[in-house]
Amino acid sequence: MKFLIQHNTHYRYSRPVILGPQDLRFYPREDGSLRVINFQLNIAPAPLGRNDHQDLEGNRVTQVWFENETDHFDIQLNMQVETLRHNAFDFILEPEAEVLPINHVEDFIITQGYLERIEIDDTVTAFATELARSVNNNTLDFLNALNQKLFADYNHIHRDSGVPQSPAHTLQTRHGACRDLAVLFIDCCRSVGIAARFASGYQKGDIQSERRHLHAWPEIYLPGAGWIGFDPTHGIAIADTHVTIAAAAHSRDTMPVIGNFNGKGVSSTLKYMVQIQVSES
């Protein structure tokens, strides 16, 4: 499946400011399931310097810095990518991954950050434990059941801004944006011993929708399968319908723009536009 993606981001400041260094995450995670056909990132004002590198999570980061004052900061992304994975379950699990809790002894140091729960809440633990028990602790059955439950039983809303709700809040209220459902899914997985991380990017979705947005979903690490994605907002296991831009143990490390500005008493506004065209390969 081929994606043609345009993502424009516009910051405006009430008075000229000095922009601090900005870390931009817009380049897709290139692996065996995705290839980048072309990629162009335009930045205004023109930066004084630019550095492209990988962060600790393996995400491509473009760091830019500036010299002069400005009343705007614009980022224009144009790219074409092709997703190559057609079957979300084209793997054979290692025996230790088939039943919960998964034994991560051999890769404990690597997976530790993806197993650590940020907020331990007994209601989330009980919810996940009971769901695992209902499927006889079968790993894939648990993941599919959790995915379908968050899809079918929760009210899906859109929020333009704000950090994710706590997993306990989303569980209690049964409503949330895609990032809220992703964080709840991740916490449920970690509570039963499954390594999980937060992913951000673009998805096929409803191509007739007038307005598109960045999307968020969880990715799960299973020995034998590697990292695989689930989308509780749409109730699917992810194959070729999503383009991952960044993935990390914590959602804050997947933000597309991280930086600051210097200017006393200055207010700022943010506007963005995402357009996605999808065609079958």
Amino acid 250: pLDDT = 97
Contact 247, 197 (CB under 8 A): yes
154 shares a domain with 74: no
264 shares a domain with 162: no
Contact 150, 185 (CB under 8 A): yes
Is 60 exceeded by the pLDDT of residue 268?
yes
Amino acid 31: pLDDT = 85
Range of weakest confidence among 13-17, 109-113, 164-168, 223-227: 109-113
Amino acid 280: pLDDT = 85
Amino acid 210: pLDDT = 60
Range of weakest confidence among 31-40, 99-108, 121-130: 99-108
Q: Taking Cα atoms as reference points, which of 117, 88, 114 lies closest to residue 248?
A: 114
Amino acid 90: pLDDT = 96
* 245 domain residue, yes or no: no
* 51 domain residue, yes or no: yes
Q: Which domain does 125 fall in, by range?
A: 95-239
Tell me how many helices (H) and strands (E) the chain has.
5, 16
- How many angstroms separate the CA atoms of 139 and 118, rounded? 22
232 shares a domain with 104: yes
Amino acid 209: pLDDT = 58
* 247 domain residue, yes or no: no
73 shares a domain with 145: no
Report whether the peptide linkage leading into residue 45 is cis, meaning its omega lies within 30 degrees of zero.
yes
pLDDT in tens, 46-90: 999 999 999 999 999 999 999 999 999 999 999 999 999 999 999
Going by pLDDT thresholds of 50, 70 and 90, the confidence category of residue 107 is confident
74 shares a domain with 103: no
pTM of this prediction? 0.95
Is 60 exceeded by the pLDDT of residue 216?
yes
Q: Taking Cα atoms as reference points, which of 166, 52, 160 lies closest to residue 118?
A: 166
Is 80 exceeded by the pLDDT of residue 132?
yes
* 244 domain residue, yes or no: no
Number of domains in the chain: 2
99 shares a domain with 71: no
CB-count exposure of residue 80 (10 Å: 0-12, 13-18, 19+): middle
166 shares a domain with 103: yes
Going by pLDDT thresholds of 50, 70 and 90, the confidence category of residue 281 is low
Range of weakest confidence among 34-48, 157-171, 190-204: 157-171
CATH code at position 102: 3.10.620.30
Residue entry with tokens 């459902």: 181
pLDDT in tens, 6-20: 999 999 999 999 999
99 shares a domain with 79: no
pLDDT in tens, 240-255: 999 999 999 999 999 9
163 shares a domain with 62: no
Is 80 exceeded by the pLDDT of residue 186?
yes
Contact 183, 219 (CB under 8 A): no
40 shares a domain with 146: no
- 3-state class of 243 per DSSP? strand
CATH code at position 61: 2.60.40.2250
**pLDDT, averaged across the chain:** 95
Comparing 228 with 32, the larger pLDDT belongs to 228
* 273 domain residue, yes or no: yes
Percent of the chain scoring above 70 in pLDDT: 96
* 89 domain residue, yes or no: no
Q: What angle do CA 231, 270, 70 make, to 5 degrees?
A: 135
266 shares a domain with 157: no
Is 60 exceeded by the pLDDT of residue 208?
no
175 shares a domain with 69: no
Is 80 exceeded by the pLDDT of residue 105?
no
What mean pLDDT comes out for the span 155-165? 88
* 250 domain residue, yes or no: no
* 105 domain residue, yes or no: yes
